[in-house]
Amino acid sequence: MTRRPDGVPRSRRSLRTRLLVAFVVPLVAVLGLVGVVSVTALRAQLVSQVDTRLDAAIGRSESYSSQPGYDPPHDTGDGDGNGSPGGPGFLGARGQGEGTLGATVVDGICTTSGVLGSRGQTLQLSSAQQGVLVDLPTDAEPVTRDLGGDLGDYRLIASPARDGEVLVTGLPLNSTADAVRRLVTVELIVGLLALVAAALAAVLVIRRALRPLDRVAATATRVSELPLASGEVRLVERVLPGDTDPGTEVGQVGTALNRMLDHVEGSLAARQESETQVRQFVADASHELRTPLASIRGYAELVRRQHAAVPADVGHAMRRVESEALRMSELVEELLLLARLDAGRELAQEEVDLTALVVDTVSDAHVAGPGHTWQLDLPDAPVLAPGDPGRLHQVLANLLANVRSHTPDGTTATTRLRVQGGWAVLQVIDGGPGIPAALRPHVFERFARGDASRSRSAGSTGLGLAIVHAVVSAHGGQVEVASEPGRTVFTIRLPHATEAAVAAAD
Ligand SMILES: Nc1ncnc2c1ncn2[C@@H]1O[C@H](COP(=O)(O)OP(=O)(O)OP(=O)(O)O)[C@@H](O)[C@H]1O
Ligand SMILES: [Mg+2]
pLDDT by residue, tens only, the chain of 506 residues: 555 556 656 667 888 899 999 999 999 999 999 999 999 999 999 999 999 999 998 888 888 877 765 554 544 444 333 333 467 878 878 888 889 999 988 888 888 889 988 887 888 888 889 889 988 888 878 999 998 888 889 999 998 877 788 889 999 998 898 999 999 999 999 999 999 999 999 999 999 888 888 999 999 999 888 888 777 778 888 999 988 888 888 899 999 999 999 999 999 999 889 988 988 998 999 999 999 999 999 998 888 887 677 788 888 888 889 999 999 999 999 999 998 888 887 788 999 999 999 999 999 999 999 999 999 999 999 999 999 999 999 999 999 999 999 999 999 999 999 999 999 999 999 999 999 999 999 999 998 888 655 554 566 789 999 999 999 999 999 999 999 999 999 999 999 999 887 655 44
**Helix H segments across 135-237?**
174-224
Distance 285 CA to ligand 2 centre (A): 23
Q: How far apart are CA 34 and CA 353, in angstroms?
A: 88
Distance 403 CA to ligand 2 centre (A): 8
Q: How far apart are CA 461 and CA 192, in angstroms?
A: 80
Distance 406 CA to ligand 2 centre (A): 8
Helix (H, G, I), strand (E, B), or coil: what is residue 343?
A: coil
402 lines ligand 1 (CB under 6 A): yes
Instruction: Find the ligand nearest to 465 CA.
Output: 1
* pLDDT (0 to 100) of residue 81: 37
* pLDDT (0 to 100) of residue 11: 63
Ligand 1 site-directed mutation target among 329, 338, 406, 487, most atoms within 8 Å of CB: 406
8 A C-beta contact, residue 495 and residue 477? yes
Q: What residues are neighbours of ligand 2 (ion), with CB under 5 Å?
A: 402, 464
Q: Which residues in 268-422 belong to E strands, given as ranges?
A: 350-353, 373-377, 383-387, 412-420
Q: How far apart are CA 463 and CA 458, in angstroms?
A: 14
* pLDDT (0 to 100) of residue 433: 95
462 lines ligand 1 (CB under 6 A): yes
Residue in 19, 24, 39 with CA at minimum distance from that of residue 199: 24
Residue in 134, 185, 129 with CA at minimum distance from that of residue 154: 129
CB atoms < 10 A from the CB of 58, how many? 22
Q: Determine phi and psi for 11, rounding to 5 degrees.
A: -95, 135
Instruction: Find the ligand nearest to 468 CA.
Output: 1
* pLDDT (0 to 100) of residue 79: 39
Distance 460 CA to ligand 1 centre (A): 8
8 A C-beta contact, residue 18 and residue 206? no
* pLDDT (0 to 100) of residue 343: 81
Residue 63 identity:
S
Q: Helix 174-224 and helix 15-65: axis angle, to 10°?
A: 170
* pLDDT (0 to 100) of residue 75: 45
* pLDDT (0 to 100) of residue 161: 79
465 lines ligand 1 (CB under 6 A): yes
Distance 400 CA to ligand 2 centre (A): 8
Terminal Cα distance for the chain, rounded? 78
* pLDDT (0 to 100) of residue 376: 96
